[in-house]
Every structure is written in C-alpha cells, then in structure tokens.
Amino acid sequence: MYETTHARQEKREMTKVSLGAELLCELLIEAGVDTIFGYPGGAVLPIYDALFDAPIRHILTRHEQGAIHAAQGFSRATGRPGVVLATSGPGATNLVTGITDAFMDSTPLIILTGQVASEKIGSDAFQEADIIGITLPITKHNYQVRKIADLPQIIADAFHIATTGRPGPVLIDLPKDMMSGPAEHCTLPEPAPRGYHVPNAPDPQVLEHIAAEIKRAKRPLLYIGGGIISSKSSEQLREFARKNQIPVTSTLLGLGAYPAGDDLFVGMLGMHGTYAANRAITECDVLIALGVRFDDRVTGKLERFSPHSKKIHVDIDPAEINKNVPVMWPVVADVGLTLHGLLALDCAPDAVAWRQQIAAWHEEWPLSYRPAQDGLKPQLVVELLAKATKGQAIVTTEVGQHQMWAALFYPYTRPRQWITSGGLGTMGFGFPAAMGAQVAMPDQTVVCIAGDASFQMNVQELQTIVENKLPVKVAILNNGFLGMVRQWQQFFHERRYAESRIGSPDYVKLADAYGALGLRAANAQEAEAIIEQALNHDGPVIMEFLVHEEENVFPMVPPGAGTDQMTLEWEEA
C-alpha cells in the first residue's frame, strides 16, 4: 500500500527520526551539494519528496542523458563534483553513456540511481536493472546501500573517491525501501574507503634525475593533458615552462591549461594537431608528459611516435604508466607537486636553436584555411565568435569537425574554459554540458559550438534552458552532413557518402517554438551581425550558420599513420 506524504510526516513525528531520503539530502548538503540534475521516476519518488523541502536546486532535464552531461558541464566548469539523479531501470541505463564519458575524461561525478525495494532485487521486478553490474567497468567505484546506517559513510567515501587522485564518476544505488524507511540523523564521517590510497608527492631523488635529464636536453618538449587542469597545476606549469623556456604542446583536453598565444605554446598535437606540434613531438629528444595518457588520437602509429626522445611521464594513476608507450622516467604522483619540486631544481636546458626551429615551423606552416570566395567557412565562424567574446567565453562542443575547428581556432587562455568530450567522443554532449556550465557560472558567457547532427542528439534540452532562463548561446555549424564521417568517406571510401548526409529542422522556427531566439547566417557579414545580436540578447539563442558542405579539418594524421605523416590543406585540391 502506498504511503502518503501526510502519513510519512505523521510517522516521522511519532518516531522522531527522519526518512532515508531526508538523511540523503542532509548529507548531500553537508557535502556541499547545491545543485542536482535529474529526472524523477517511481523508485526515486521518496528522494524527490525530500528534495521538495531541501535547499538544493534541482534542474529537471528532458532526458537522463541530458542530465548527466549537464552534471559533467557543471563539474568541468567548476572542478566540483556534478551530481545527477535518475530512477531505476531505464532511468539508470540512460546514464550509461554519460558515465562512460566521465570515466574516460576523468570527470568527478556523483551518480544517484533509484533501485527497486531490497526484497525485489534479482526478481526481474518492474524497472529493475543491475546498474551496479552494468557500471562496474565504467565507474571509479560504485555502491548499493543495503543498510541505511551505512549511508553516511558511503556518501563521505563517494565524494572523496570521486574528487581525489584521478577524478572520476562514483555511483550510489539507492533501493526504494532504504529511502522510504526510517533513518537516524547523522553528520558526515571522515572518509575512509578501504584499500584506497592516493599517490601524493614524488620521490625527491627521482626528481633530481629528471631535472638532470631535462637540463641535458637539446630539444625538450612539454606534453600536457587534462591532468594539469584537474590537479589545478596550471600556474606551476606556466612558471616551469617560462623559467626553463621549454615549448609546450597540449592534448585536446589540456587546452586552456597553458595560454594560447604564448610564445612557448606550440598548439594542439595529434590527429588534428598543428604542423609545428606534430613535428616537435617527432623530433624532440626529451618528452616531459604531464597528466596525459598517450591516447591513440595523440600518438598515431606507436612505432613512429616521438622515436628519438627519452620520455618522462608524470601521472597520478599508476595504471597509465607504460600502458601505451614505454617511458624511461615514470613518476606516479600529483603533477602539481612534481612541478613544484622541479621548480626548486636547475632544469634549464640550452635549447635556443630548438625554439628557433619550432618558430620556423610555425611560420612556414601556420594554422590556416582557404578564405571563402562566397558563402561561409566554419573556421571563420569560430574566429568571429572568439573575436566577439574577446576569447573569454566558456566554450563547449559536440563531437565532430566543428569540435576540431573549435579546438584549433578559439584561443583558450585559462583552465576550465574549454569543455568537450575527448576520450569517448560523445555526440550530444555539448549542448547539455553548456547548460550545466551556465548553471554553475551564471555570470559568464557560455557558447556551445555544435554540428547540425550532434545538436539533434539532445535537442530536447532546449526546453530545459528556456524554462530555467539559461542564456546559453548555441552556434550550429550546419553543413548538412555528419561532417567527420563524410570527411573520412571522402578520404578513405572514394567519396561514397553512405548515410552521412543528414537533414535538419528549421532551427530558427525550432528555437521560436521552444521560446528561444533563433538566428541564421549564410555569409561572413550576416555571421558577424547575428553573433553580436546573440551576445546582446538576455536569453538563450540558437544561431545557425550555413557553412560550406565539404570543408575538411586540416592538418590530419590519417588513421594508422605516424604524427610525422600529416595531410595538409594545400594538398587537398
């Protein structure tokens, strides 16, 4: 028999205890949670009933995938764990893509899932799914609450695990009877996860050897990743690079950790990296890898990856050491503490000729594109957005060609300014991530650069941003294709564009239907005008840019090739 809210209140007054759901809310508040993204359902109704009176802002999305990507955007913009809540069964399984994305990109999340009542677990009950088993390989850790008395320790441990060491998603599965049953008031205990240890400071002797190796180098290169941002080590990185005059190249997720435009910054490396960055990684003699995982989009063909270098790898996750690329000097430690230690040592190499060589590569093969004789180039749209926002916006992206243009042509100068799906490459990520970033940073301009195909993956969240008065600006680079799929079909499948052309709704009318402002541009003048109009508009705006259909992303390292085997734009015609 279903118990009414009034009956539960009477029970609480009689027993002078709270319910499990109320204790959950109290513990979340104590852990610093002020915002939850979610979607209700039967198994989590006790939690929603408790949230009704709790000082926690709940953002009701239109799909659980939108909720978890919004929580990711919130986390990536702030460094705090994002929190998402979904019901049992399909609600929980709809989170799986976002959990995997957060796991791949080391994003701290607390995922709260409803579960059927304890006595029904394993009976194939209505809306039951084994979310613990499903998410075991894609979470940093997961819990199922079997005794409500365990909840305080679980919450304390979950936040500790999600945010320390290599950050990641932690799931807590909450059977309905645990949330609707009685619970004693309690505060958060000290975290004490069994068997969990976080590496911290590096070995001083190893640092001395590394410093000597760097000092002897003639062609040193810093190769940085998202670990610099998650460990809050950008300041130490800048100080170390400038003190020792060592060039810096970045992964996709590391953009913003070192300021674009700085003389030492070589640009992004890898499949769509700059010519200078990929030449530098190939020719360097000491490679200092900080907070990176040597993923295949960076290394290309392993046999040709940085063949002449001695490799130093600093990462807090021991599982990443020697996983893809063998290194001479592994350091399992906090990257910020490692840089702090190296700053106290004499590392300065004599690398004047090396820096001159990199500058010459930059000058000879700069990042560029062919200007349009008519119509609109997508790279120009990104440049116009950068100019209009003075390079200060928080930029999120979907996944595809537009993502690479946004990475290459917008100048990121600070950490957490750039939010994209790196490891998993999740279409549908960018728009809800922008929503989460805007919730977290209401005073900042948030721009989502999207492709016409990716945007349609979570287009329903238009209603969420309108309802919550979130002034997100969306720039859709509409080329009528699954752009990156088409580019690969052009290069590797003889232009046989099988199922890569895709239609779109009228985005101006679509925006209007949801209550947002819709704008469209087909040339440079119109693009500049609608960007200005969008940025001056108080509410959410959808900007559609009709760009050249067959524009490609260059440079490009073909799959299976080495980073020294780039295809360049001028070779296309």
Q: From the CB of residue 7, how many other CB atoms can be counted at a distance below 10 Å?
A: 11
Sheet strand arrangement including 82-86: 57-60, 35-39, 82-86, 109-115, 169-175, 141-144
DSSP characters for 489-511?
Answer: HHHHSTT--TT-B-----HHHHH
Residue 464 and residue 435 in contact, taking contact as beta carbons nearer than 8 Å: yes
Which residues, in sequence order, are bridge partners of residue 224?
250, 290
Q: From the CB of residue 122, how many other CB atoms can be counted at a distance below 10 Å?
A: 10
- Of the candidates 186, 230, 27, 187, which has an alpha carbon nearest to the alpha carbon of residue 112? 27
Looking at residue 1, what is its pLDDT?
A: 45
Alpha carbon distance 421, 428 (integer Å)? 10
Looking at residue 564, what is its pLDDT?
A: 86
Alpha carbon distance 424, 399 (integer Å)? 10
Out of 127, 245, 357, 463, the active site residue is: 127
Is 176 catalytic? The answer is yes
Q: Which helix (H) or strand (E) holds 457?
A: none
CA max distance for the chain: 80
Alpha carbon distance 22, 182 (integer Å)? 9
Q: Are strands 169-175 and 220-224 parallel, antiparallel or unpaired?
A: unpaired
Is 103 catalytic? The answer is no
Looking at residue 103, what is its pLDDT?
A: 98
For residue 221, what are its two tokens?
Answer: 């290169």
- Of the candidates 518, 536, 507, which has an alpha carbon nearest to the alpha carbon of residue 388? 536
Alpha carbon distance 489, 409 (integer Å)? 24
Looking at residue 3, what is its pLDDT?
A: 59
For residue 225, what are its two tokens?
Answer: 């990743």
Is 126 catalytic? The answer is yes
For residue 41, what are its two tokens?
Answer: 């359902």
Which segments in the chain show pLDDT lower than 70?
A: 1-17, 569-573
Domains in the chain, CATH or no CATH each: 16-184 (3.40.50.970), 204-364 (3.40.50.1220), 378-546 (3.40.50.970)
Alpha carbon distance 260, 413 (integer Å)? 6
Q: Which helix (H) or strand (E) holds 444?
A: none
Question: How does the average pLDDT of the chain come out, rounded?
Answer: 95
Out of 484, 543, 556, 566, the active site residue is: 484
Residues 6+ apart with CB under 8 A from 338: 202, 207, 290, 314, 331
- pLDDT tens sequence across 438-464: 999 999 999 999 999 999 999 999 999
For residue 220, what are its two tokens?
Answer: 């040193």
Looking at residue 354, what is its pLDDT?
A: 98
DSSP characters for 522-559?
Answer: SSHHHHHHHHHHHHT-SS-EEEEEE--TT---SSB--T
For residue 394, what are its two tokens?
Answer: 């928080």
Burial of 215 (0-12, 13-18, 19+ CB in 10 A): middle
| Residue given tokens 């003190």 in the structure block | 243
CA angle 438, 268, 558 (to 5 degrees): 115
Upper half-sphere CA count for residue 392 (Cβ side, 13 Å) = 8
Alpha carbon distance 92, 42 (integer Å)? 12
For residue 83, what are its two tokens?
Answer: 């929190």
Out of 10, 126, 364, 525, the active site residue is: 126
Sheet strand arrangement including 446-451: 418-419, 394-397, 446-451, 473-478, 541-546, 517-521
Residues 6+ apart with CB under 8 A from 373: none
Residue 435's SS3 state is helix
Out of 176, 310, 311, 377, the active site residue is: 176
Out of 26, 64, 383, 544, the active site residue is: 64
Looking at residue 485, what is its pLDDT?
A: 95
- pLDDT tens sequence across 505-525: 999 999 999 999 999 999 999
For residue 249, what are its two tokens?
Answer: 């190249």
Looking at residue 573, what is its pLDDT?
A: 40
First-residue to last-residue Cα distance in the chain: 72
Looking at residue 11, what is its pLDDT?
A: 59
Cβ density class 16-28: b for 16+ within 10 Å, e for less: ebbbbbbbbbbbb
Residue 562 and residue 493 in contact, taking contact as beta carbons nearer than 8 Å: no
